[in-house]
Amino acid sequence: MQKEVLSTKNAPAAIGPYSQGIAAGDLVFVSGQLPIDPATGTMPEDVKDQARASIKNIKAILESAGSSLDKVVKTTCFLSDISYFAAFNEAYSEFFPAQGAPARSAVGIAALPKGAKVEIEAIAVK
């Protein structure tokens, strides 16, 4: 099985030694996406807006591989403060309604790169 390195200008460039995503066989693995606007390099302040921005970045990477948000099977969500959980869920559910939502883990952690409140990674089928 070959792997394909994914890269799109519609999502922020990697800020370290990793790819935006990798397609391997019928699967697409999207690296953790910060809520950075790829056009401006800025991040919104509000946790809901950060969740939306991170998911939009995931969407752009998935689309570059011929996939989409409705094909996501698993997400891992990192929150810099677990008290953001309810607000995060409100924004997350706009993209992934409860019925048919992907499997998910949500983890509260000490800090995220660039002071972000949210980072999300995803696995999807093509």
94 HSE (CA, 13 A, CB side):
12
pLDDT along the chain (126 residues), means of 10: 93 92 97 97 97 98 97 98 97 93 96 97 97
66 HSE (CA, 13 A, CB side):
7
Residue-level pLDDT at 122 = 98
15 HSE (CA, 13 A, CB side):
12
Instruction: For residues 66 and 15, give the distance between their C-alpha atoms in angstroms, rounded to a whole number.
Output: 24
User: Which CATH number fits the domain that encloses residue 93?
Assistant: 3.30.1330.40
Does an H or E element contain 4, and which? strand 3-6
What residues make up the domain containing 78?
3-125
Count how many domains the chain has. Answer: 1
Cβ atoms 23, 1 nearer than 8 A:
no
Instruction: For residues 102 and 55, give the distance between their C-alpha atoms in angstroms, rounded to a whole number.
Output: 13
This prediction's pTM: 0.96
